[in-house]
Amino acid sequence: MTEHLRNPDDEHIPVMAKEALDLLRCKPGGVYVDATVGLGGHSLAILERIQPGGLLVGIDRDKESLEKAQARLKPFADSVRLFHDNFKNLPLILNNLATKPVDGILLDLGVSSYQLLSQERGFSFQSDAVLDMRMDRTQQWNAADLVNNLPESELAGIIYRYGEERLSRRIAAAIVHERAKGPITRCAQLASIITRLFKVRQQGIHPATRTFQALRIAVNEELEGMEEFLSEAFGFLKPGGRIVVIAFHSLEDRIVKRTFRKLAGQCVCDAPSELCRCPRQILAHLITPRPITPRPEELAVNPRARSARLRSLERI
């Protein structure tokens, strides 16, 4: 069965849940944040462990997902506060809630299977949906706006940087050539423009995979301000509190790795040691000096987890 024919509502297996929960060490009465609630898989597991007296602050920028999560988490309604927002506003939310310092923060980044498999959301090159890709459908611009309006060089830059696509310039040129004839509005239309450029089918992945990833990251500004956000969120942890981040592509994971190392007082620059200006202030312990990857048993039931990389940091 192709991915887009599956029912998105059936897809809510939380990725690396056992590892994430073990690392968060959820305890009754604790305060936790799930900054990417999605359909609430991880949130539910956290809520089960923090009774009685615990609080979960949950955020997602996708209103539809959050509504589904809200229904799922109803048995714990008294212990959860959900917010439709960008997690970059977590500091504002926590300050306004005036909670005590937080015991743990979870980020399970990227898009959910629910979003990816929902035809009308336009994330998949396998669907003929409108080229949308917004996680937050109240946002003003979508993927079609970028594809039809960005200058060619900017488009090529996005495809190269966020998709790590070697053919970025050729793809951008082909897009600009096609859009001169009329707007590119559908996923399948864009996928076919890209596919035509690849003479040999690449092993394993569809030729449009990298370009679609790049556009999704650009539309949702997924990497912008991530380092600042992680450092700021870390500041809300109590001593001994932990942050756990699950990333799904190397660009995202690189930012997490760098930020965690910095907070743990390690050098993150390329300068010779005599010229290093890294702060070297030890504010945290790296719980995972190397990222944890999914166990084979998990991959057997949830292949979508294959690119997951989990990292955790503990505040001193």
CB closer to ligand SAM, 41 vs 207: 41
**Distance (Å, rounded) from C-alpha 25 to C-alpha 27?**
6
Reference 17, options 265, 246, 281; nearest CA is 246
Any alpha helices (H) in the chain, and if so which ranges?
17-24, 41-49, 63-72, 90-97, 113-117, 143-149, 152-163, 168-179, 187-195, 209-219, 226-234, 250-263, 296-301
**Distance (Å, rounded) from C-alpha 109 to C-alpha 14?**
12
CB closer to ligand SAM, 122 vs 207: 122
Q: Is 59 in the site for ligand SAM (CB under 6 A)?
A: yes
Q: Provide the token pair at 247.
A: 């990333």
Span of 57-65, 153-161, 165-173, 262-270 interacting with ligand SAM by CB under 6 A: 57-65
Cβ 302 to ligand SAM, closest distance in Å? 11
Q: Is 12 in the site for ligand SAM (CB under 6 A)?
A: yes
Cβ 310 to ligand SAM, closest distance in Å? 12
Q: Is 177 exposed, middle or buried (0-12, 13-18, 19+ CB in 10 A)?
A: exposed
Q: Is 249 in the site for ligand SAM (CB under 6 A)?
A: no
Q: Is 87 in the site for ligand SAM (CB under 6 A)?
A: yes
Paired sense of beta strands 284-286 and 309-315, if any: antiparallel
Q: Is 218 in the site for ligand SAM (CB under 6 A)?
A: no
Q: Is 14 in the site for ligand SAM (CB under 6 A)?
A: yes
Cα angle 119, 298, 75; round to 5: 70
CB closer to ligand SAM, 36 vs 168: 36
CB closer to ligand SAM, 86 vs 259: 86
Residue 284 burial (CB count, 10 A): 23
Cβ 151 to ligand SAM, closest distance in Å? 26
**Distance (Å, rounded) from C-alpha 269 to C-alpha 258?**
9
CB closer to ligand SAM, 112 vs 168: 112
CB closer to ligand SAM, 47 vs 146: 47
Cβ 14 to ligand SAM, closest distance in Å? 4
Instruction: Give residues 98-157 in contact with ligand SAM (rule: CB under 6 A).
Output: 108, 110-112, 135
Instruction: Give residues 26-55 in contact with ligand SAM (rule: CB under 6 A).
Output: 36, 38-42
Interface residue with ligand SAM among 8, 33, 61, 311 (CB under 6 A) is 61
Q: Is 274 exposed, middle or buried (0-12, 13-18, 19+ CB in 10 A)?
A: exposed
Cβ 173 to ligand SAM, closest distance in Å? 31
Paired strand residues for 314: 242, 285
Residues binding ligand SAM: number (CB under 6 A):
21
Q: Is 162 in the site for ligand SAM (CB under 6 A)?
A: no
Residue 115 burial (CB count, 10 A): 23
Residues engaged in binding ligand SAM (CB under 6 A) = 12, 14, 36, 38-42, 59-62, 65, 86-88, 108, 110-112, 135
